[in-house]
Structure formats: C-alpha cells, structure tokens
Amino acid sequence: MNYQWYPGHMTKARRMMQEDIRLIDLVIELTDARVPYSSRNPDIDELGKNKARLILLNKSDLADEQMNEVWAEHFKKKGYYTAKINARSGAGMKQIQGIIQEACKEKTERDRKRGILNRPVRAMVVGIPNVGKSTFINTFAGKACTKTGNRPGVTKGKQWIRLNKNVELLDTPGILWPKFEDQSVGQKLAVIGSIKDEILQAEELALWILGFMQEHYPGRLKERYQIEEEGLLPELLNSIAFARGCKRKGEQPDYQKAAQLIVDDFRSGKLGRVTMESPDTTA
C-alpha cells in the first residue's frame, strides 16, 4: 500500500512552529530509537537551523543496544547533543537537565554579558506522532502537565510548560511531512505506530515484520511463537495463526487476528530489542 497520513492540523502546526522558533534557544527532537532516521521529520533541520539541537533516542529499551550506541555516535558527529532515554520508565532522564544547560552555554554566557541574568532556556519539543513527546515532558516535569496517549495525534495545540527556574518547554503537535519520498520510511513509521492503524493493512505490516526478523534477527520468531521460521512469509503467518489459536469458524486460520498479534508483539518489544536501520544504510 502507499503510506501517507497528513491531516489538516499538521499543516497548521507546522506554521505555528515556524512562527514560534524565533522565541526558542534549543530544539529538543525526539526520535524512536528503533528507526532513528525514519522517525526524524526532515523539515525540522531547516526549521531549527542556527539553534542548539538535542536529539533524544526515545524508547531505547525497545531498540538494539549496540545500534543505540552507533546512532548516538552518528548524531554527535553531526554536531547534535544526544541522549538515550525511555521517557515512560524515566531511564536516562536525569541527564537531560545538564545536557540542556551545556547545549545552551553560549546563549547563557551572551545573556550574562548583556546583564540578563536567570532567564530560563526556552526549548521547543518536536517529533513525529506517537514518538513520546508528551510522556517525555510529563516525566521531565515530574507531573502530568500534557495529554498523553498511545496513539498518534493526541497533542493538537501548543502549550508552554515552566519546568523550573532554568527551563521552559514549548510542547508542539507531532507532525509528519506531506509526502514520503521513500515508501520504506512510511512503512517503518506504520510498523512503530506513527500512522493511524485505521488506514493501514495489518497483514501487510505483519509480513514485513516477519521478513525483517527472519533476515536480521534469526531465531527470534522461533523463540516467541515456537515455530520453524524458515520458509515463505505467508507460510510463517499461517504457522503463527495456528500456534496462537487465531482461528475462525471451521478451524480456518484468522490471518487478520494473527497479523495484529505480530504487530502488537513487535511494538511492545515481545520480539526482543530491534533496530530497523543503521546510519550506513540510510546515508
């Protein structure tokens, strides 16, 4: 299928971010550590040029730890501050305050020379839908100050959040970009849940996941579903349907149910820690 999802509120959100960027000292961009390239909106680099930048590899507990290190080093070489976090559990969050101060050290020094003391750093939090922006803000602030939801498109307006005397955050809606030039990017975003499931085909996503796991993480499917994982992908889906009791009347396999099970298992980490791309393959 052709992967695309760009509802009207995203156009409005992009305009709003362009207007607000002049107020900002730092752009904090959340990515999904399983797809650090595909989960970056290419518009953000243009939007945030001449600003300090911090890229957070969120959901790093679901990603291959070795690849987390590779991606962190890749972003550092490009001049970004970076950190691996799990916003939901709080892992890696304690370092963020210090990184923000370090990233904005030049700005703070300029303010001091002009006699401006104790002005908080203003940071804009950006990222694609369902990457965990609201969860990050709530965990960072230590309170529920934004709406959260395990579905894309929960945040639809902007809001300023005063975290402490040193930092103010501007939360923004998750925005994709109008057209995926590379459909494999859209497919990966669909797999991690950044495109509404209602417009997707679960069987197609499941077959893609099975093929990826078969090639890059052999043994994981056998371990999870107690099946032989060699063979054609439709046969694998069939085996998993029977192994997990996904059946319709007449003992026929329910492929839709089995496919959704596979997608859910991937998203929740039940297939193990997986990273779907590397800097070498996305250059």
Compute mean pLDDT per 10 residues along the chain, 283 residues long, and list them. 48 69 90 94 82 96 97 96 96 95 90 84 87 90 57 51 86 58 80 76 93 96 95 95 92 94 96 96 71
- CA 195, distance to chain mean position in Å, is 11
Structure confidence by residue, pLDDT tens digits, 102-158: 999 988 888 888 888 778 899 988 888 888 988 998 899 886 554 444 444 444 456
Residues 6+ apart with CB under 8 A from 10: 173, 175, 176
Give the pLDDT confidence score for residue 3 in this predicted structure: 46
Query: Which of 32, 95, 89, 96 lies closest to 63, judged by CA?
Result: 32
pTM for the full predicted model: 0.85
Q: What three-state secondary structure class fits 168?
A: strand
Whole-number Å distance between alpha carbons of 238 and 154: 35
Strand partners, 28: 54, 125
